[in-house]
Structure 1
């Protein structure tokens, strides 16, 4: 597990992976900027509909607050969905460099299959988190219970997403052992809650998943 993480950071020196990282970061930032502008216009319309006076300050502040909150809650959805678009480029680069024997037999999914997997990924994370909402609310009084539940549920989902990327290409040979998959999902989910670090996590997690799948992932 540790070796896979170290190798994932090393992958950033590969020009192909670095190029994907730039694309993912830029698209993620642009997506949230668009969401922010959309929220501002929506709130302006809402204030006008309610006949509330606003010179743009309150709608701007409220948009920023909502965007920050949604960034914490939805960043994982947006970042992973965008990463799905480029995941095969990351996998190609890592496999060609470290596991050419696997690269030779892997079958890259077509665009349609990739989009379907991305949609299923988004549906899972939204659906399971909505189902877990009563649990999150119930655990609020514990102080940290909600955060722990959120991390565990989303770690399981992220680990599955990362494994699915590889199974789509290699079948059962792309599977990752359960404990390393959970730990990778947990580290990835936690990392996505840290500003700036969260921009790197989707690409690093994808690269680490390749190493876990191909390097005999029975140890930590």
Structure 2
């Protein structure tokens, strides 16, 4: 079922509307991430100025380190938060093409509700990963334990986010996600988020996958 949803999602993202939305969410996400890195650069520069060090050089190095070390977490948080504001447009396009009967029962959440859900999603992501940070550090000695733990925690969170997106549209209990399907969806999306360049496309592809996974088992 998860493979079927993946292949259908690749068909869905070939839609012109989806491509336009993908470019829009990518541009906004990248812009916010760059602003965050620049803000960190200026903040670090002001801090270093108290010791009269090479302000701009060290601050630039710090900004690069910030982007490398925290990019894997912050990119996902920002991307999913941005996606909340465009998720209904993406779901509209996928459902209109593949599941037109389900469009009639859909109810788009307002901008305020989408904003609240975006903040909750980002808060869960950052909060749970901070709580798991000691475990990540402890498992470093195993070589692979940290990666497995990170994948497990974030798979659960991403699966929850995608289910919440669809339930906000169709209502709780109306989405045919079982725990295994939701976990696999989250795992595929989270693993792909770790791949350079591929992670730029993951939020939109994962949303399309969630739509297919939800409706493939759901009677029309």
Same fold (TM over 0.5): yes
Give distance in 1, aligned partners of 2:138 and 2:41. 32
Equivalent runs, 1:1-220 vs 2, <5 Å: 1-52=2-53, 54=54, 56-171=56-171, 172-216=173-217
Structure 1 residue 43 displacement after superposition: 1.7
CA contact (8 A) 1:35 1:67 kept: no
Q: TM-score, normalised by structure 1?
A: 0.94
Residue ranges of structure 2 left out of the alignment (5+ in a row): none
CA contact (8 A) 2:155 2:187 kept: yes
SS at match of 2:201: helix
CA contact (8 A) 1:162 1:206 kept: yes
SS at match of 1:133: helix
The structure-2 alpha-carbon separation of the partners of 1:213 and 1:50, relative to structure 1 and needing over 3 Å to count, comes to same
RMSD between superposed Cα atoms in Å: 1.3
Structure 1 residue 36 displacement after superposition: 2.0
How many pairs are equivalent? 216
Structure 1 residue 71 displacement after superposition: 0.7
C-alpha distance after superposition, 1:86-124 (max 9, x if no partner): 000000000111001111111111111111111111111
CA contact (8 A) 2:48 2:55 kept: no
Q: TM-score, normalised by structure 2?
A: 0.94
C-alpha distance after superposition, 1:125-167 (max 9, x if no partner): 1111111112111111111101100100000000010001111
Structure 1 residue 64 displacement after superposition: 0.7
Give distance in 2, aligned partners of 1:118 and 1:36. 21
Structure 1 residue 55 displacement after superposition: 5.6
Give distance in 2, aligned partners of 1:174 and 1:4. 14
CA contact (8 A) 1:166 1:175 kept: no
- In terms of mean alpha carbon deviation, does 62-71 or 151-160 score higher? 62-71
Residue ranges of structure 1 left out of the alignment (5+ in a row): none
